[in-house]
Structure 1
Amino acid sequence: MLASFSPVDVLIEYGHAVVNLIAFVAFWRQAMPLISKHGLLPVTRTLRDMSRSSTGRRFSASASSSEVQPERRRVRWKQVRQYPTLCWWFYKDHHIHLMCAAGCIGGVLLLLLPCPHRLYGTTDISLFAAAVGVAWVRAGIWLLMGVVYLSLQNVSGPFLALQMDANLIEMNCLIALHSMLLATHVLSCTLLPIQSLLGGWPLMGRILTFVVDFRLSHHMRWLIFRVMLACGMCKWYGSPMWKSLTAMTAHYETQPLPNCVSWYVHMAPEWWHKVETAMSLVIEIMIPFLVYAPWYLSRLVAFVGFVQLTVMINTTGNYGHLGIMTIVQCLPILYADEWPLSLLTARVQLPSSRPSGPLAVPAWVAVVFGVLCAVVWVCLLAVVYVLWAVSTVPLLQSFKGRVRMPPSRLVDLYSYLRRYKVCNYYAKFGSMNAERLELIVQGQREGCREWLPYEFKFKPCNPFTAPRFAFFYIHRFDWRLWFLPLEWQRARSRRTQCDVPDWYEAFIHGLTLNDPTTLSLIHNNPFPDEAPAKIRTLVVKFSFTPPLTAAAAAADRDTETDTQERPTSPPTLSQQSTGEDDSMGVRRRAAAGAAVAAVSDGTRGFSQEEQVGEGRGGKSVWRFLRCCARGRRVRWWVTRPVGVYHYYDRGRPDHSNSSSNESSEGSSDSWLL
């Protein structure tokens, strides 16, 4: 038959089933505090906003009278076309649980059900029918998982708005489409006498093979090509830090959720970071063209480059299932017989006879059913090639207007399909930040002047706590908090008011009530007995502590005789150079600074730049590692408050300040302890 067996398609399906299982399980754990009825962004509120945006009407869950049912259905389908989600009908909390459970069960079933590719060539009609049936079942599961994830994404607002989420939906739809395409292709080629039709025209058979043998691995190869090239182009035409080869110098420190490995890689020499930046541009701009090379060694270079870059990104930061999903998409690059031009010289493989057995059907039934399958197969094949053509639009958009765009009709079709996430724009790390700003949430009891900080699960907040490693788990709330201080900084530069999102105000309101659903999003609650009366959110500049300063602070702590439970942090030399002061007093700060300088092996008098440069040496990093191994409390971050993002007073809610550009009281980081 025309469609031959491709083992890489099986690896793609099983690997992506694991990715879906990870994604659904991770979001299921966070769905209730994020989008439930009492969550930060309830589904009903999101549906109400989408209803007003699409039809100008308010979303209502109550049933209407029979006279307006046709109008109600027309409005509802208009809403579904604009914002496709099953939550227009299933919006309650138990429906969200059912959707997440359906995604998890679907991932398990895809791992348990066999891939029917090897059974397509059998002459036993019972095995052949079972293979076709399993193929359609798997296609239905893939499509269901894509629809469910799309439904959850459209009602989750910013929490499921990452590019990896859109990539997951696109992969599910592509695998479902190719499963149906292969099943109908096999049926039509098996039931119809194509062998006699093409027997006299071998060249026509080869051309037809090249046209119709559109395997999943071919589409995955095109997907990884445009993803990598688009990411490279958005870097080249994006932040100037990429062209100046300084992007990786700040990446490990300013990425959304760093882990404990980020600190060590960040302390590498500056020349190494420039090499990393240059290699990233080469891998994402030049190497993608080797994906379609006819030589195995060239494709091996592309595979190793993509995997190396993916592993480096995901071991030095918490990016959830992005790494394993990218590696799965890279698998077709290695398969030696899968490059498309080889199909023109390949021998046409056709079955010698139709399957026979106890369930054999008459010839006229086979012809009729084969014609129907052929019609469906042609329609699916047309959809595949249309998606291929439409996907060129987001790829060319990554060139930022430097190339000519496709015809306007193709651009309009992409704009329509983009809402269904079957064709997406991919551009990662195009804009870089020179410094890291974090939100620190603090609470204060009634009648008490001490501010106690809340600690998040994966977001940096405590300078003496190492960034946590999340493996394949991605904490949606902590990830989204990374964007808020950046928006505050842009509003500050434009001298405008920064709008605080509704879901963040709901988070602060939940903290003032000690709401268990809200508290499940954070690591610890400093007010277990009584809810705080005031809560403020500070914008704080975070930077990795140089190894010399961190080791000196750890050694200084070992020599302290103070028996307090939480001793005061000695200031770093970088803070001494700024000349700033806090409520501790100048005398105590100077004494602590002298102790640090005495222990740090002659580092007194160095400026911040000199100390950071010296701190990137191997001896300093090794000294820092010894401090960690001995259990000393080392300092991972240098912090400095730069402003107030939000302020809430339960006793005077009308005087609560949503956002301010004024600096908080005290400029050192002693408030964080």
Structure 2
Amino acid sequence: MPEQLGWLDGWWASADYDVAREVLQRGVGALLCLAFLQALGQFRPLLGEHGLLPVPRFTARVAFRDAPSLFHLRYSDRLLVVVGGLGVGGGAAIVVGLPQAGPWWVTTAVLLVLWAGYLSVVSVGQRFYAFGWETLLCELAFLAAWFGSPAVPVPFLLVLAARWLLFRLELGAGLIKWRGDPAWRDLTALDYHHETQPMPGPLSWHAHHLPRWWHRAEVVGNHVTQLLVPWLLWLPQPLPSVAGGVVVLTQGWLVLTGNFAWLNWAAIVLGAAMVSDDVWRALVGGLAPGAGSGAVPPPVPVPYLVTATLVVLLLAALSVRPALNLASRHQKMNANFEPLRLVNAYGAFGSVTRRRDEVILEGTLADRPGPDDWREYAFRGKPGDVGRRPPQVAPYHLRLDWVLWFVPLGASGPWIPRLCERLLEADPATLRLLRLDPFDGARPRWVRMRLFRYRYTTRDERRRSGDWWVRRELEVIVEPVRLSPRPGGGLAR
């Protein structure tokens, strides 16, 4: 068998997506580097041996086939640090292009190792990793791996696979909105969203106070971008490039007005990867030598031809259920249909929250606390102090802050009393997840959890008070608890 099949260059291989490959792989490498870095900082207090939802308890009751992970073999906080450190290093190597300088299989192997490592983290991450962008990053990493290196041409079949991913991401989000909440159909969704989204950003207050006609225009623009523009991906160039550019621009607006971890940035990477080399040349001028449709792609090695084709056939077979999900009246949002998370369903904000309720955690050093003895714990991202401007935290993902947003919506669990217990113990790892410990490392005698209704200040209220929020108490959702003096510990009232 010949080592190279040059006769495939005209149809299987493409010379118009060399820049797209660089954008996709280096962008995914940056996202993986960030994701593993977050795991190093947050995984152990949330999911480690003494975390709020310990991994060993999870792996004891959930089979490997349902949650494939290296940590099924053995979990330790030290092993997590090793996996996280290798992930950060591997992601950074992809960003600077070290694996891409070698044969195609080196880049593929590095990205597959990163995919397997992050899948291992996500599979055991439970509530703290139950976000659509975790699955999206797993799928992106697996797909990017098979683009190989500049030593081989870009297979047009993989270009189509990347378009299929962006198509599902955008159309799935558009359909779940249209089918879900009537506020998206009557164009009122953005009257609420900037105020009630899980993690507002520095410009969210200003976006909320834009005129109502602007909010209507935002919703119409969302529908056009997510329900109509994705279909351009299946037409000849330059229309897929136009679709990718629209995604980049609209996701940029979401970056400015909210904090959605790396979801928007992953979509921006995908959108930019839709742009052909010819369009890049028209936009920014000279590209690297060899980039563009006028260049002759390198020959196709037989092992790469066979491997990439088989991968695309696998992805096509796994796409049946996600495709049916898009067409279903009972569409699932952010769902995976097989444990390796290779082809998934996406969507966001199928329903819009009309009111903002926030969980506030408090503690006290007093044995018999009065109303003025309680001190509030401050979180890094979620609203608390009404005078604090919402910060910019994305693409960093504050997992505890996000999960607390879901508590008023009914998403409780055993991690809540464990969080109270860790605060009572003044656990250093848990306290590092917060912005401010009001007791400077001392153990409080009691902690409690209260629920407040938040809304943005009006322009007049902000001028008078300087505050960004107004809040009022609704109820105490966890009555004051303390560490039990009985053997075995636990909480007591």
Instruction: State the TM bucket, normalised to the shorter chain.
Output: 0.7 to 0.9
Q: Which residue of 1 aligns with 2:415?
A: 503
1:440 aligned to 334, 351, 360, which one? Answer: 360
Structure 2 contact 14–297 (Cα < 8 Å) conserved: no
Tell me the CA shift for residue 213 of structure 1: 4.1
Structure 1 contact 537–644 (Cα < 8 Å) conserved: yes
1:437 and 1:535 map into 2 onto residues whose CA distance is 19
Structure 2 counterpart of 1:527, which letter? F
2:408 aligned to 464, 485, 506, which one? Answer: 485
Q: Which residue of 2 aligns with 1:153?
A: 122
Q: Which residue of 2 aligns with 1:175?
A: 144
1:532 aligned to 444, 449, 473, which one? Answer: 444
Q: Which residue of 1 aligns with 2:347?
A: 427
Structure 1 contact 16–325 (Cα < 8 Å) conserved: yes
Distance 1:430 1:399, change over 3 A: farther
Structure 1 counterpart of 2:233, which letter? V
Question: What TM-score, normalized by structure 2, do the two folds share?
Answer: 0.85
1:103 aligned to 87, 92, 100, which one? Answer: 87
1:649 aligned to 452, 471, 481, which one? Answer: 481
Q: How does 1:216-615 map to 2 (within 5 A)?
A: 216-296=158-238, 298-335=239-276, 373=302, 377-378=305-306, 380-401=308-329, 418-444=338-364, 445-449=366-370, 450=372, 451-487=374-410, 500-528=412-440, 530-553=442-465
1:215 and 1:400 map into 2 onto residues whose CA distance is 26
Structure 1 contact 550–635 (Cα < 8 Å) conserved: yes
Higher RCO, 1 vs 2 (CA within 8 Å, ≥6 residues apart): 2
Distance 1:224 1:154, change over 3 A: same
1:432 and 1:81 map into 2 onto residues whose CA distance is 35
Tell me the CA shift for residue 27 of structure 1: 2.5
Structure 2 counterpart of 1:507, which letter? L
Structure 2 counterpart of 1:83, which letter? A
Structure 2 counterpart of 1:446, which letter? D
Tell me the CA shift for residue 4 of structure 1: 4.1
Structure 2 counterpart of 1:40, which letter? L
Structure 1 contact 260–466 (Cα < 8 Å) conserved: yes
- Residue-by-residue CA offset, 1:256-313 (whole Å, 9 max, x unaligned): 11112100110111111111111101110011111233252x4454233211221111
Distance 1:153 1:214, change over 3 A: same
- Residue-by-residue CA offset, 1:639-659 (whole Å, 9 max, x unaligned): 12222221242277999899x
Tell me the CA shift for residue 21 of structure 1: 1.2
1:274 and 1:14 map into 2 onto residues whose CA distance is 36
Distance 1:269 1:350, change over 3 A: closer
2:104 aligned to 132, 135, 149, which one? Answer: 135
Whose helix proportion is higher, 1 or 2? 1
Q: Which residue of 2 aligns with 1:94?
A: 78
Q: Which residue of 2 aligns with 1:609?
A: none
Structure 2 counterpart of 1:35, which letter? L
Distance 1:395 1:463, change over 3 A: farther
- Residue-by-residue CA offset, 1:314-345 (whole Å, 9 max, x unaligned): 1111122222221110123321669xxxxxxx
Report the 3-state secondary structure (helix = DSSP H, G, I; strand = E; otherwise coil) of the residue aligned with 2:139. helix
Structure 2 counterpart of 1:85, which letter? S
Structure 1 contact 541–641 (Cα < 8 Å) conserved: yes
Deviates more, 1:319-328 or 1:273-282: 319-328
Distance 1:348 1:503, change over 3 A: same
Q: CA RMSD in A?
A: 3.0
Q: Which has the larger radius of gyration?
A: 1
Structure 2 contact 363–376 (Cα < 8 Å) conserved: yes
Structure 1 contact 237–399 (Cα < 8 Å) conserved: no
Structure 2 contact 377–436 (Cα < 8 Å) conserved: yes
2:201 and 2:422 map into 1 onto residues whose CA distance is 28
Distance 1:337 1:549, change over 3 A: closer
Distance 1:38 1:351, change over 3 A: closer
Structure 1 contact 646–657 (Cα < 8 Å) conserved: no
Structure 1 contact 249–270 (Cα < 8 Å) conserved: yes
Tell me the CA shift for residue 397 of structure 1: 1.3
Question: What TM-score, normalized by structure 1, do the two folds share?
Answer: 0.63
Report the 3-state secondary structure (helix = DSSP H, G, I; strand = E; otherwise coil) of the residue aligned with 1:419. coil
Structure 2 contact 248–272 (Cα < 8 Å) conserved: no
Structure 1 counterpart of 2:319, which letter? S
2:79 and 2:298 map into 1 onto residues whose CA distance is 47
Tell me the CA shift for residue 392 of structure 1: 4.3
Structure 2 contact 483–491 (Cα < 8 Å) conserved: no
1:281 and 1:112 map into 2 onto residues whose CA distance is 37
Structure 1 contact 262–317 (Cα < 8 Å) conserved: yes
Report the 3-state secondary structure (helix = DSSP H, G, I; strand = E; otherwise coil) of the residue aligned with 1:260. coil
2:69 aligned to 64, 78, 85, which one? Answer: 85
- Residue-by-residue CA offset, 1:75-105 (whole Å, 9 max, x unaligned): xxxx322220000223111100001011111
Q: Which residue of 1 aligns with 2:290?
A: none
1:350 and 1:462 map into 2 onto residues whose CA distance is 58
Structure 2 contact 262–395 (Cα < 8 Å) conserved: yes
1:162 aligned to 128, 131, 134, which one? Answer: 131
2:442 and 2:330 map into 1 onto residues whose CA distance is 59
Structure 2 contact 36–84 (Cα < 8 Å) conserved: yes
Distance 1:518 1:349, change over 3 A: closer
Among all aligned residue pairs of Structure 1 and Structure 2, give the percentage whose two residues are the same amino acid.
Answer: 30
Q: Which residue of 2 aligns with 1:491?
A: none
Structure 1 counterpart of 2:417, which letter? E
Deviates more, 1:522-531 or 1:274-283: 522-531
Task: Please tell me whether residue 144 in structure 1 is matched to residue 113 in structure 2.
Answer: yes
- Residue-by-residue CA offset, 1:159-178 (whole Å, 9 max, x unaligned): 11211111111111112234
2:48 and 2:183 map into 1 onto residues whose CA distance is 41
Report the 3-state secondary structure (helix = DSSP H, G, I; strand = E; otherwise coil) of the residue aligned with 2:65. helix
Structure 2 counterpart of 1:42, which letter? P
1:110 and 1:292 map into 2 onto residues whose CA distance is 29
1:115 and 1:41 map into 2 onto residues whose CA distance is 36
Structure 1 contact 44–91 (Cα < 8 Å) conserved: yes
* Matched residue count: 460
